[in-house]
Structure 1
């Protein structure tokens, strides 16, 4: 099987991002993964393969110039960019009357501004490749909950942003989708994945979902996908 396409995954050093990267590499995609910590992202990239397969990038999605530089390095290294997965995100939870100003802005800057910066930096390359832009939102982008005002606001925003971007970009033959997972077995919110998380969606499950999107006929676009554990009552 020959694919030879290149995917860029933000927040790709662990969790969902790394799970997606692993599935794509197994299916002959080349990947660039980014994160803020050089050692962590380089270790993750080495676990995926050599430099012909995986590229490690240090980038903070809250900074547009970082994302522009990341895309520049991808094009220099691989010569193309076909798929972009805006996965980097953070969650800080507290009652709205107790929420710290800096926590609000951390979530807005990472979860919402970040997806814009990643698209802004990569859209010209995606126009050239007639590629695919995918955001990782959350079921929190449609279901609000107590102590989630900041996180809900960003994920509702990501869903709205992505759906509008889909309408703007499809005339360039760019596909745009958002994936909205429920509980996933990751390190999110201080969790350490263990056998107690077996009931949750696993990162590789999201990777397989992404692969399904990428291999779907060009005429068909699932623009918004909700995905949740089958049996949450098993926890």
Structure 2
């Protein structure tokens, strides 16, 4: 019994010490950062923020042309390296980690930002849709973190997982996306606990809507034009969505502070709070919301958001500015 108490006390002391170490402000000056999904959208905004804080960045994405446009937009010369690869392919992930280490002499931070989104009724989503999005949004962060872990241990580095408020509150017409982000949140919690004794900090962020220009890259199902018009409009409402640069700054702040988990944006805080305080009422309200959303279509075909544009969405100047500023207009959905 006495031994058990001593063991428990030692565990508590160790946990407190680890927590203090992981909560020490993390200076990014000179740090080497690998950002997946770094060629456009939030990934590009995060690259700008890391560069502004003195870091050096390796951007990984599938489309080499998009990566070159991103490099040109960042205009940071030898502080930016790019790797074309797919986060669902082990060989590509290992190559990205190796190149980041060789280019900058080590690896301090991994930003698991690469992701995909599908919008539409769950009735029009297939099992293949769910498997595909889980591989990118949930399993890829584990794959990338594992590949980078030996280097992160050596540098007492940090891991950032970009989840979503949809990973805290099940969201109608974002079914597979929401499931995958719940998985990402759980992964972040487990990694935080298990990597802490190794000196590696893990931060999970859950943003709400952000003006990144990314809806045009989403897969849209159901009545595509109606679904896309709703999605793209909400994503670019100033009072509902967050400027991508502001979101990137808050996300990097959370990493620097060593937060375990942080909601990003007022909408994210409201939705998470409603779910925590009144889950039954929140479920009823989401059920009512679903009644006014477009109904399922008689087919399961999906289209890229850019192919579901209408005069209404094309005329939105906030949306077009976000797409231009975050490299969303010039290439394929890579």
The alignment's TM-score, normalised by the length of structure 2, stands at 0.64
Q: What whole-Å deviation, never above 9, does each CA across 1:35-83 have from its counterpart, x for those lacking one?
A: 1000001210232235520011112111122111100001111111111
2:166 aligned with 1:166: no
Stretches of 4+ aligned residues off by more than 6 angstroms: 191-195
How far does residue 120 in structure 1 lie from its aligned partner after superposition? 1.4
SS at match of 1:52: helix
Aligned position for 1:76: 102
Q: How far does residue 210 in structure 1 lie from its aligned partner after superposition?
A: 3.4
Q: Deviations over 1:94-116 (max 9, x none)?
A: 33332123322221111111111
Match of 1:198 in 2: 238
- Could you give the per-residue CA deviations for residues 129-186 of structure 1, whole angstroms, max 9, x where no partner exists? 1000000000000111222221111000000001000000011111101000001002
Matched, 1:152 2:178: yes
**Aligned position for 2:223:** none
**Which residue pairs with 2:84 in the alignment?**
58
CA contact (8 A) 1:187 1:193 kept: no
Give RMSD over aligned pairs.
Answer: 2.4
Q: Does 1:102 align with 2:128?
A: yes
Alpha-carbon distance between aligned partners in 1 of 2:170 and 2:124, rounded to the nearest angstrom: 17
Partner in structure 2 of residue 213 of structure 1: 254
Shift of 1:192: 6.7
What does residue 144 of structure 2 align with? 118
Question: Which runs of no fewer than 5 residues in structure 2 stay unpaired?
Answer: 1-26, 217-230, 271-334
Tell me the SS of whatever aligns to 2:54.
coil
Q: CA deviation digits over 1:201-231, x for unaligned, max 9?
A: 1221232123323443xxxx31010122469
Query: Could you state the TM-score of these two structures normalised by the residue count of structure 1?
Result: 0.89
CA separation of 1:145/1:210 partners in 2, compared to 1, >3 Å: closer, same or farther?
closer
Higher helix share: 2
Secondary structure of 1:62's aligned partner: coil
Partner of 2:213: 187
Aligned pair count?
228
Per the alignment, residue 33 of structure 1 pairs with 59
Q: Distance in 2 between matches of 1:171 and 1:14?
A: 34
Aligned counterparts of 2:235 and 2:119: Cα–Cα separation in 1: 25
Equivalent position of 2:259 in the other structure? 222
CA distance in 2, matches of 1:36, 1:193: 27
**Is 1:87 matched with 2:127?**
no
